[in-house]
Structure 1
């Protein structure tokens, strides 16, 4: 029997203690640095324990110490300062009453999104090395043998931290790629899988590039992939995962670009594994893109479809999960499929649509569904 492995996109709910520490740092308030580190270490270990208990094979640190999956770079790299205007996705602008409801209900997270106002340079890998040590310690304590760590792609940084310094967008992307290279290498050299979060390859179509045609946007996405691949030069693609998504929020998503339009761009990433949404109602049908374009999937690519969603508190039935997995094993074989989630459950610290306990119940359903699918292969 081929056992289908399980994983997820990366971020998981933080404890209130962790959230309080992160926002104290975010707001420039005084806090005990040693107590901060101790809280992150303990919380990461507990996050790993819960993943293992739920049946997840390839675990993460839950992005415990990060304010968000993209804007954390402002704390680890020079060149970022101030704040930038918020721009709601185009689909939410089409339904202003729903957008207002999200704001009134606290459904939109509040955190700094600085602009790039100077040269982007690494401040060193000290904070990353703490995250790596915490994850590896948690894995050793709770019997996890495979782990991954998230890092922002050059493209997603450019999406959330707009350029006000470099002469061109391409120059900004190139600077980001050069700056992020050491972070990527540090994660891989630590024996972990590197996951690059790349919602810029889909989400940015209806956030930043709304005035473009789909074809013109695909050219932009292609430039993002070129920058990413440059940063990954010399790193074994088998150690790299790339995640694409259309935004981890409940909403109409009627402006999302189709997977068929960005499929070729995604396949050009120097990543052995590609993670993508297949559970949310706007993209659940797009498994057929992979079926119909099977010959365009490189033989060394492993597919990691999201077989549970991350924006609702429904706990998927394990049989539904199994059926979603089987769609992809029928396309590329069981040895090239890993069961994953649509997105993260804690994209922003202290903010998440899914109750923390339910998030782990959903991961448990993912693991149970993978077992069912494995037994039928």
Structure 2
């Protein structure tokens, strides 16, 4: 029997104790979180140990720290995967101008530019629904993010925080009997989506973020862990370009972000790298998502061993057929989402098994790891999140027995 391994996309529900401890750390006027106290470090260390132990109990094969080192002060949070980096980078400042308050930006053929968040095409098409609190659409709290007002670089505080993340996860893995796990880290392309008030050109700002993120990737890999590069920008940027560009223009625009990931990973062994692609984790219609077939070639250009992507939600589940037409390079592994953050309905294990088997029959069961579409923490109720992971493991066992 071929065992189908299981993992997830990163974020897991924070414990009430950790949320309370995070909330007690008051963010300063500069938008930064103060240095953690010894008491806070103890709470965080225990929370990571507990969440890894819970993953072991459920049967997750490849765990992480639940992204607990990424500050989250409430049970509902869609942006911690991104905003955590602001405490780790020098050159950022709260200016009052960000992608929620700035004026819309228009693109033209051959000149692709990101517009502001409220000008996303899905948000404007369904404007009434997005503004209706009874519609079921949730995008999380819209906070003010810093802008780059000087040269950006990975800070001394960032090096201490990533060292804390790796130490906490390594100790928790050892205590629970795991050989290794993964830590998610922001991509250069996603980092460069904040407002640039210093570099002046999109390409120069993107290049700067390559230098920012490389030290974090290298620190994670040096601890013997898998680096997961979180990069919704590869797919999600499509919705943030107005009017809709040609696929050719978008691919050219996005290839620079793919090359940025590869440059930032230059000193990280491919065997220790996985890449997470998604179309944005907010609960909305997603009618303007780009099709996977248009960007799967870009995905496979990324120098990673493992490719994580959404495949369980109703907007993208049908795209499993893309892999019938695309040859997965030798030595690569796909990590499709087979349970989704986008619904409160807990997937039946039989459905999970069927989703896994579709991929396994195309690329081979040894080249499939079953996962979640996106992070579950902060997006659905904790009880539902853990039930989904239990269903994920149960479905993988069914698929394993049949494959």
State the TM-score, normalizing by the size of structure 2.
Answer: 0.87
TM-fit CA distance, 1:236: 1.5
- DSSP 3-state at the match of 1:226: helix
**Cα–Cα, structure 1 residues 173 and 30, in superposed 2: closer, same or farther, change >3 Å?**
closer
TM-fit CA distance, 1:358: 1.2
Unaligned 5+ runs, structure 2: 72-79, 101-116
Q: Which moved more, 1:47-56 or 1:31-40?
A: 31-40
Which residue in the other structure is 1:338 paired with? 369
Pairing 1:6–2:10 present: no
TM-fit CA distance, 1:121: 1.1
TM-fit CA distance, 1:104: 9.6
C-alpha contact (below 8 Å) 2:139/2:282 kept by paired residues: no
Q: Aligned partners of 2:221 and 2:81: how far apart in 1?
A: 18
C-alpha contact (below 8 Å) 1:61/1:149 kept by paired residues: yes
Which residue in the other structure is 1:201 paired with? 234
- DSSP 3-state at the match of 1:58: coil
Q: Which moved more, 1:102-111 or 1:30-39?
A: 102-111
TM-fit CA distance, 1:154: 0.2
Pairing 1:264–2:304 present: no
Pairing 1:108–2:140 present: yes
Which residue in the other structure is 2:99 paired with? 85
Which residue in the other structure is 2:323 paired with? 290
1:296-323, CA deviations, whole angstroms, 9 ceiling, x for partnerless residues? x211210000000012211111111111
C-alpha contact (below 8 Å) 2:99/2:195 kept by paired residues: no
Q: Aligned partners of 1:90 and 1:166: how far apart in 2?
A: 27
- DSSP 3-state at the match of 1:196: strand
Q: Aligned partners of 1:214 and 1:102: how far apart in 2?
A: 34
**Cα–Cα, structure 1 residues 77 and 30, in superposed 2: closer, same or farther, change >3 Å?**
closer
- DSSP 3-state at the match of 1:118: strand
**Cα–Cα, structure 1 residues 4 and 20, in superposed 2: closer, same or farther, change >3 Å?**
same
Which residue in the other structure is 2:58 paired with? 54
TM-fit CA distance, 1:71: 1.8
Q: Aligned partners of 2:389 and 2:345: how far apart in 1?
A: 12
Which residue in the other structure is 1:20 paired with? 20
1:178-236, CA deviations, whole angstroms, 9 ceiling, x for partnerless residues? 12111101101101000000100001110256553232111111000111101111322
Q: Aligned partners of 2:182 and 2:168: how far apart in 1?
A: 12
Q: Aligned partners of 2:185 and 2:389: how far apart in 1?
A: 22
Pairing 1:40–2:44 present: yes
Dislocated runs of 4+, deviation >4 Å: 29-32, 102-107, 208-211
Q: Aligned partners of 1:107 and 1:122: how far apart in 2?
A: 28
Unaligned 5+ runs, structure 1: none
Q: Aligned partners of 1:337 and 1:304: how far apart in 2?
A: 6
Which residue in the other structure is 1:312 paired with? 343
Pairing 1:184–2:198 present: no
TM-fit CA distance, 1:63: 0.7
Pairing 1:326–2:338 present: no
Q: Aligned partners of 2:301 and 2:285: how far apart in 1?
A: 29
**Cα–Cα, structure 1 residues 340 and 32, in superposed 2: closer, same or farther, change >3 Å?**
closer
C-alpha contact (below 8 Å) 1:304/1:340 kept by paired residues: yes
TM-fit CA distance, 1:23: 4.0
- DSSP 3-state at the match of 2:84: helix
1:224-280, CA deviations, whole angstroms, 9 ceiling, x for partnerless residues? 011110111132211100000001122111000000111110010000000001111
Given the alignment, which residue of 392, 395, 401 partners 1:366? 392
Which residue in the other structure is 2:114 paired with? none
**Cα–Cα, structure 1 residues 152 and 38, in superposed 2: closer, same or farther, change >3 Å?**
same
| RMSD, matched Cα | 1.9
Q: Aligned partners of 2:278 and 2:332: how far apart in 1?
A: 18
Given the alignment, which residue of 342, 364, 382 partners 1:356? 382
**Cα–Cα, structure 1 residues 145 and 103, in superposed 2: closer, same or farther, change >3 Å?**
farther
- Alignment map for 1:65-144 (pairs within 5 Å): 65-67=69-71, 68-82=80-94, 83=96, 84-86=98-100, 87-88=117-118, 89-102=120-133, 107-124=139-156, 125-144=159-178
Matched pairs, number: 369
Pairing 1:154–2:188 present: yes
- DSSP 3-state at the match of 2:161: helix
